[in-house]
Structure 1
Amino acid sequence: MSEQYSAEVESSRIAAVDLGSNSFHMMIAEEFQGEIRTLEKRGEKVQLAAGLDNQNYLSEEAIQRGVDCLAQFGQRLQGMDPDRIVVFATNALRAARNRREFIDRAEEVLGYPVEVIAGREEARLIYLGVAHTQADDGGQRLVVDIGGGSTEFIIGERFEAKALESLHMGCVSFTKRFFADGKITRKQFKKAVSAAQQELLNIKAQYKKLGWKSEIGSSGTIRAVEQAIISNGWGNEGITPDGLEKLVDHCLDYETVDDVDIEGVKPDRRQVFIGGLAILTAVFQTLDIKHMRYSDGALREGALWDLVGRSEHEDVRSRSIASMQERFYVDTAQADRVEATALALFNQIRKDIGARKELAQWLSWAARVHEIGLSIAHSGFHKHGAYLLQHSDMLGFTRQGQMLLALLVRNHRRKIHPEELELLPARQQTIALWLIRILRVAIVLNHSREAYDVPLPEASIDKDTLLLKLPEGWQDSFPLTSQDMEEEVELQKAAGLVLSLV
């Protein structure tokens, strides 16, 4: 193999790691002519959700199981381009109060950032993964994915999701909740089904109104149910109410979860199978499902397709930013001016601050939405904007990504709060502070809102000092902007930062 061909193959390689509540999965693939070719798949039953106590703290044993698994994944991923790898964590880490401890240890052995995604973002990626395994035949479809700690429900057509929901019920959490002593009884199974039906009432009316033509299931529980039904002769293809009922009756003959021994259900799934079966039973009954097919596509496949989309300038995150601008009546002309100035300053000092070129995108997004808080009130609008960015559903963004945007907007005016950056992963804190400083200067320079053009200063770095070289006569020509810049010097000084005008 020539060196050139080897480099091309390496550059086309992409990977997704899915830190699920029940299992961790890694998928390495190659992007080739608009398609994804799977090169390697690995999975391990970590059962992270089983390690959550009543206060939602992960046990040391559960953390170690996860870290040990990721250490193995990390060996395989070593040397790959960080921008071609996504590592997503789902419900167990959404719920874990000590997730920061887990993430820090996980990143150390894995070698790549671990991002926690919201339930609706998980649902979007699942649908994307499923949609790429289905015929492009039109008609709305319902997709159900039963995970370890949550179950996602999506209605979509072709590659576009139209309804996204994530409910707090999963095979691990339900087994732990209703079969904690390991004993299987009809009474407890009925309670589990009833609890799932209660959760489903949150979406039943909306989903029934939207409607769908076909039903598809993804991930381990639904795959195991389909295989068990077919292997035992209770059905020929997919899952039907009759086949599901026969499987349930068979499972309820076992005394404990450890006794479950059904052809088609792998040994490492048997201990949590009963909880997932109860959820699927409730789904069939509540949504009146007659036939469900299994799809190989799921979260990690969707994450890979999303990654490919980003490289082809189809980044759903940019659509989310545009949606926020529209929803909160942003002055887009002013946002564009600030964005252009911020990017021009960033490009001058990017190499000196050790920032990857891709970080310009975060500065760009922050500039576009830095004024969204004005739709609530002018007083403290930077705080209102930060709250909206942190707590809104923003498809494509991880929890950490939304926190980064929120902190950039929170600190774009008035007092700078460097201590708030401790909410970010350690790897992001220094660069985030530089992005804040650049954004602030860009906003000050465009304070006139195009009442007059302000020349762009030359930016440079001297250790931690941000140097701005102003054109000759600048201060006399732009006295108001000059005064604003002097105030900005003092505000950065109060935060222990040096901004020098020369």
Structure 2
Amino acid sequence: MLATIDIGSNSILLLMGRIVNGRLQIEHQRKETIRLGGALDPSGNLQPQALERGLDCLRRYAGLMAQVAPEHRRAVATQTLREAHNRDIFLSQARTILGCAVELISGEREATLIYQGVSSLLPDSAAPRLVIDIGGRSTEICIGRHHTLQAAISCPIGSVAWAQRFFDQGTLAASCFEAAQAAAQAALQPHVKPLQALPWQQVFGSSGTAGAIGKALHQMDHPAGEISRAALHQLRAQLIQAGHIQHLPLPGVREELRPVIGGGVSIMCAVFDALQLQHMRVAQGALRHGLMFELHQSLPLHA
């Protein structure tokens, strides 16, 4: 049994399972919305209450992992802890709680693990794939073939950060979306230029933002697991019509994701525009899956 944990800016995610003949058999998975990314104070420190919320979540996960050997566990932390000046306090306590290393990973390494996780749960294909993961405080964009990553970028924009910056009072006005999309496109442009020279035939969206948008669109009678440019613009128009997160008519979106839906949709629109996308499929794989495959490969029993 293997266990991996992704300490993200919006959620902390646990995956437990086995890899048999190259295929992942999931035994247990859990997600808790802790929203560390919304709890950095003006000095860049993670606020004490949020720090404790995160550690409490890890204590619960440690209990669930009790039967997993420490050498079969791995955890990583991403953008919020890359930014937090007091990250060492959190990381030190997290290591003690989990009984394993907690790696603070770079944006580029995060992208590598995301691509590995997405590609490992897809049928093998020689078609070049574009994978996009909009997280709470960073967005990773990757291109690869089969299980081999060819290029990746990480941009410090995300659903939590953008919701705080442009939709702080829960207002979903057209002017908020215009400002949020313009800022996201400006941030993306220098990063995506190297990617535009590479071809891709398939486009996949990984993790929470893509999943939430996919579910919202399905509630609007669009095909399950599909995000088209036209449907995305229709969703944005519906959010603007609602006017506020308290009035959202989206039963498919979990309650804890509603406060960040404006940030996520505005960044997804900016990504579609920056890369001139028409269609995206929602992927099942994500960072925690890639981390599990990497952990499996590193074990002596695998060799």
DSSP-derived class of the 1:293 partner: strand
Aligned to 1:294: 282
Aligned to 1:442: none
Aligned to 2:141: 153
Given candidates 50, 53, 59, the residue that maps to 1:65 is 53
Between the aligned partners of 2:271 and 2:292, the Cα distance in structure 1 is 28
The question of whether the paired residues in 2 share the 8 Å contact of 1:235 and 1:243 is answered with no
* 2:250 partner letter: I
* 1:168 partner letter: P
Aligned to 2:8: 20
Aligned to 2:124: 136
Q: Does 1:91 align with 2:91?
A: no
Q: CA deviation at 1:259?
A: 3.2
Given candidates 220, 227, 230, the residue that maps to 2:208 is 220
Q: CA deviation at 1:312?
A: 6.5
Between the aligned partners of 1:258 and 1:47, the Cα distance in structure 2 is 19
* 1:199 partner letter: A
- Once the two structures are superposed, residues 186-234 of structure 1 have per-residue CA deviations (whole angstroms, 9 ceiling, x without a partner) of 1111111011101111133211111211110010110111111122124
Q: CA deviation at 1:237?
A: 5.4
Between the aligned partners of 1:237 and 1:84, the Cα distance in structure 2 is 32
Q: Which has the higher helix share?
A: 1
The normalised TM-score by structure 2 is 0.95
Taking the TM superposition and a 5 Å limit, the aligned residue runs for 1:199-214 are 199-214=187-202
- Once the two structures are superposed, residues 14-73 of structure 1 have per-residue CA deviations (whole angstroms, 9 ceiling, x without a partner) of 110110100001001023233321100011000001101222111111111101111100
- Once the two structures are superposed, residues 457-477 of structure 1 have per-residue CA deviations (whole angstroms, 9 ceiling, x without a partner) of xxxxxxxxxxxxxxxxxxxxx
Q: Does 1:311 align with 2:299?
A: yes
Between the aligned partners of 1:235 and 1:39, the Cα distance in structure 2 is 28
Given candidates 162, 166, 184, the residue that maps to 1:178 is 166
DSSP-derived class of the 1:107 partner: helix
Q: Which runs of 5+ in 2 are unaligned?
A: none
- Once the two structures are superposed, residues 317-366 of structure 1 have per-residue CA deviations (whole angstroms, 9 ceiling, x without a partner) of xxxxxxxxxxxxxxxxxxxxxxxxxxxxxxxxxxxxxxxxxxxxxxxxxx
Between the aligned partners of 2:146 and 2:131, the Cα distance in structure 1 is 12
Aligned to 2:178: 190
Given candidates 97, 102, 106, the residue that maps to 1:114 is 102
Cα distance change on mapping 1:301 and 1:236 into 2, 3 Å: closer
Given candidates 68, 71, 90, the residue that maps to 1:102 is 90
The normalised TM-score by structure 1 is 0.58
Q: CA deviation at 1:110?
A: 2.7
The question of whether the paired residues in 2 share the 8 Å contact of 1:234 and 1:246 is answered with no
- Once the two structures are superposed, residues 391-437 of structure 1 have per-residue CA deviations (whole angstroms, 9 ceiling, x without a partner) of xxxxxxxxxxxxxxxxxxxxxxxxxxxxxxxxxxxxxxxxxxxxxxx
Q: CA deviation at 1:85?
A: 0.9
Q: Which has the higher strand share?
A: 2
Between the aligned partners of 1:83 and 1:47, the Cα distance in structure 2 is 28
* 1:201 partner letter: Q
Aligned to 1:270: 258
The question of whether the paired residues in 1 share the 8 Å contact of 2:8 and 2:136 is answered with yes
Q: CA deviation at 1:236?
A: 5.9
Aligned to 1:346: none
Cα distance change on mapping 1:90 and 1:228 into 2, 3 Å: same
Given candidates 18, 36, 45, the residue that maps to 1:30 is 18
Give the paired residue count: 303
DSSP-derived class of the 2:68 partner: coil
Q: Which runs of 5+ in 1 are unaligned?
A: 1-12, 316-502
* 1:254 partner letter: A
Larger radius of gyration: 1
Between the aligned partners of 2:31 and 2:48, the Cα distance in structure 1 is 21
DSSP-derived class of the 2:101 partner: coil
Between the aligned partners of 1:163 and 1:314, the Cα distance in structure 2 is 28
Percent identity, please.
33
Bigger relative CO (Cα 8 Å, ≥ 6 apart):
2
Aligned to 1:475: none
The question of whether the paired residues in 1 share the 8 Å contact of 2:155 and 2:191 is answered with no
Between the aligned partners of 1:220 and 1:66, the Cα distance in structure 2 is 18
